[in-house]
Amino acid sequence: MKKISITLRRIYCVGALMIPLTAAAQTLPWMNPALPAESRAQLLVGAMTLDEKIQQIAMNPAANTNLPGCGFLASGRHIEGIPRLAIPTVRMTNGPIGVAGGDCSPDPQATGVPTQLSTAASWDRDVWNTWGDIVGQETRANAHTIFLAPGMNMGRVPNNGRNFEYMGEDPLLTGSAAVAMTQAIQAHGVLATPKHFVANEQETQRQTMNTVVDQRTLHELYLLPFEMVVKDGQAASLMCSYPRVNGTFSCENSYILKTVLRDQWGFKGFVMSDRGATQSTVPSIKGGLDLEFSTPNWFSPARIQTALAAGQITTGDIDTMLQHRYYEMFKFGQFDNPINAFTPIDLAANGTKARVMAERGSVLLKNANGTLPVNASQIRSIALIGPTTFAGAAKFPSTGPGGFITVNAPYTVTPLQGLKNVLASLGSSAQVTFNDGTDLNSAVNLAKASDVAILMVGDISLEGVDRQDLKLPVRDNVDQEALVAAVASAKPNTVVVLKNGGPIVMPWVDRVGAVLEAWYPGQEDGNAVANLLFGLSNPSGKLPITFPSAERQAATSTQAQWPGVPVNGVLTATYSEGLSMGYRWYDAQHVEPQFPFGYGLSYTSFALSNLSVTPKLSDGTQPIIVSFTVQNTGRVEGAEVPQIYVQLPAAAGEPPKRLVGFQKVSLQPGESKSVTITIDPNASNHPLGIFDPTAQAWSTLAGGYPLYVGTSSRNIVLSSILKVVPR
């Protein structure tokens, strides 16, 4: 018998031809996978015509003819490939609400994940990894190559319409979550695009406004999470924001895009604009923008050719813009393994994960006299009351002006169905009656006649508009503030479930039995909330953003701070609070918030003890090892989040403390665990550092550094002191 030798080789698709990768590499040298990504990008750009280069520096709606079943959507999140050069088509999907608003119409199915503010509230790296894994996996499975997230702007303004798309007010918490999400997304060969870079903390006149912020504050608070996601997360791209930053639009701001991003941080990826955020041709290209969002306008062939002819830009500028993007596409295998087909998604498994994430991100804000969990064996009737938006349907996050982008989820679980599911699982025959709250008297009467009254209320936060106040708005013809007050007066042990996109004020909080913050839970809303209410899951979330005790506190104290005042015809918001943003302002001003940053209750109790700090004398460069014991002193399983804060020496001129470490710890009843957290002065979050604008560098001061360990920014349980004597 003749022996047959078979050699298996990777196959590359060029246009309609299937060509062995080894053969492609002979005619297209950049297709040699043995070469470094940077070299491949340079070779490719060197082979392109000028027209091809110009075509590749702006998105352009086009039919997805090479992707059967992907209808044409003129979203602009598209860069057509060039088959002769083996350049694949780029299809982007919006974020961070989940995989939606992409380059196919209608959107393929994807999981309705909880909002990013909810995932931040979990303080849980497993949740962040899971969230990133789901959206990365589903982006690729839906034949898209770039996921436009995570959202990383700071919760400076509690009224910000997009707070639900971001991760709160602390740069370390935001950066830690974004790093984990970005790594998980990019593990699927999909490029993550953290946004919006930078200082885009409000929606009011976002496209034209000016943000005025000093450089030290800019670096220590607003740039810091982006520094982390660039250095630790290895983000492939960033999306620059709409506003001017200190007078110059973000997408043409060379200090931000070149001096900081490339020179100080060593970023090698590409920068794209938000939709319509490009404001010029030459200043944007010279300032560091690589890709214009949507149909070419400022980067149109005519404008680019005019700028080239006038010597205002060079072909070298365009080459650099393209090399930044191709470098990342080569690095993540998008040339060698193009994403050009739909693949199956285990939507049932991802739905289960979405439920767990929603549960872990929910925060128990109040629980008077053990109102929760509800004991199913002791009740016969439940009143479910609230506007249909919050109590009658699963609450999804949505983005885009007016909230027109929502994930095309395979199913949803309503609050009513979720309660019935849990009661059935517990063998309870209790009846649940829904009342939409439009008739106040009937809602009150139902609450009185029921063993338990559950109010589900909230707000609708939207891209493009800030909330004018922090009250519960009128929704579905229901005055929610009046509804809560009336039901609470009739039923003192009323349970309030909040489904909101950011902080609210609660003038009624002292009159209700319990408050559960559920945010926008996504497709598994009903099951997740019901599991928490009945104790099948123990709340373990902590607030990632302070809940003010009144309107107009902290960074919204004056009109000049938010939404700003006209200066030379431009709305200008001045960050005059400086470093005293969020919980730092409340600490510095000795003001008691309604609920502090890092706060969250549990159905069990915990004790912290045995604090150890090693070494206690440091030169400011050595890692600091902080260890302590956490014990579950209650009767049910639960999770606590010990938080480490540090106070800098007085000479630093900083607010009283900053978050420098945390860890979520799950414990059985009576169980103790030793927790060790390392504070590395050389880490990308600069835990002991201050930024010197003159030197354009970070430094660590000599002096005493009190260390605090607690369960919120206001509940400090243990303390020690570190002394730093620089060499």
Q: Using one digit for the tens of pLDDT, what is the confidence trace for 160-213?
A: 999 999 999 999 999 999 999 999 999 999 999 999 999 999 999 999 999 999
Distance CA 713, CA 381 (A): 39
The reported pLDDT for the residue numbered 647 is: 98
In this prediction, residue 524 has a pLDDT band, given cuts at 50, 70 and 90, of very high
In this prediction, residue 679 has a pLDDT band, given cuts at 50, 70 and 90, of very high
The reported pLDDT for the residue numbered 16 is: 36
Which tokens hold the place of 60? 């352009």
Q: To which residue do tokens 């107009």 refer?
A: 552
**pLDDT tens column, 22-55:** 556 679 999 999 999 999 999 999 999 999 999 9
Alpha carbon of 526 to those of 111, 368, 497, 505: distances in Å? Answer: 15, 23, 11, 24
Which tokens hold the place of 205? 């006149």
DSSP letter, residue 620: S
Distance CA 573, CA 586 (A): 20
Enumerate residues 6+ apart whose C-beta is below 8 A from 161: 203, 461, 462, 463, 464, 465, 466, 467, 501
In this prediction, residue 10 has a pLDDT band, given cuts at 50, 70 and 90, of very low
Q: Is the pLDDT at 11 greater than 60, yes or no?
A: no
At 585, which helix (H) or strand (E)? helix 583-589
Catalytic residue among 170, 274, 336, 436: 274
Average pLDDT of the chain is: 95
Enumerate residues 6+ apart whose C-beta is below 8 A from 683: none
Judge contact between 361 and 123, C-beta under 8 A.
Answer: no
Distance CA 396, CA 181 (A): 20
The reported pLDDT for the residue numbered 20 is: 54
Judge contact between 654 and 579, C-beta under 8 A.
Answer: yes
Question: DSSP secondary structure string, 161-229?
Answer: TTGGGS--S-HHHHHHHHHHHHHHHHTTTPEE--EEES-----TTTTT-EEE--HHHIIIIISHHHHHH
**pLDDT tens column, 55-93:** 999 998 888 888 888 887 667 799 999 999 999 999 999
Which phi and psi (to 5°) does residue 612 adopt?
A: -135, 135
**pLDDT tens column, 379-404:** 999 999 999 999 999 999 999 898 99
Q: Is the dihedral of CA 254, 255, 261, 264 positive or negative?
A: positive
Judge contact between 282 and 263, C-beta under 8 A.
Answer: no
Average pLDDT on 373-379 reads: 97
234 burial type by CB count under 10 A (0-12 exposed, 13-18 middle, 19+ buried): middle
The reported pLDDT for the residue numbered 26 is: 74
The reported pLDDT for the residue numbered 74 is: 63
The reported pLDDT for the residue numbered 21 is: 53
Distance CA 169, CA 546 (A): 8
Question: DSSP secondary structure string, 691-720?
Answer: EETTTTEEE--SEEEEEEEESSSS-EEEEE
What percent of the chain is predicted at pLDDT more than 70? 96
Distance CA 518, CA 362 (A): 5
Q: Shortest CA distance to 449 belongs to which of 547, 366, 383, 398?
A: 383
Q: Is the pLDDT at 4 greater than 60, yes or no?
A: no
**pLDDT tens column, 682-716:** 999 999 999 999 999 999 999 999 999 999 999 99
Collapse the DSSP code of 650 into the 3-class scheme (helix H, G, I; strand E, B; otherwise coil) and give the result: helix
The reported pLDDT for the residue numbered 1 is: 33
320 burial type by CB count under 10 A (0-12 exposed, 13-18 middle, 19+ buried): middle
Question: DSSP secondary structure string, 266-299?
Answer: ---SEEEEPTT----SHHHHHHT--BB-SS-STT
Q: Shortest CA distance to 128 belongs to which of 184, 191, 171?
A: 184
Enumerate residues 6+ apart whose C-beta is below 8 A from 263: none
The reported pLDDT for the residue numbered 3 is: 31
Judge contact between 586 and 529, C-beta under 8 A.
Answer: no
| Buried/exposed code over 514-527 (b: 16+ C-beta within 10 A; e: otherwise) | bbbbbbbbbbbbbb
The reported pLDDT for the residue numbered 325 is: 98
Distance CA 596, CA 554 (A): 13
Domains and CATH numbers, the chain: 1-28 (no CATH), 35-331 (3.20.20.300), 355-533 (3.40.50.1700), 604-724 (2.60.40.10)
Q: Is the pLDDT at 17 greater than 80, yes or no?
A: no
Distance CA 218, CA 259 (A): 14
The reported pLDDT for the residue numbered 22 is: 55
Distance CA 465, CA 473 (A): 14
Judge contact between 215 and 692, C-beta under 8 A.
Answer: no
274 is catalytic: yes
The reported pLDDT for the residue numbered 69 is: 82
DSSP letter, residue 29: G
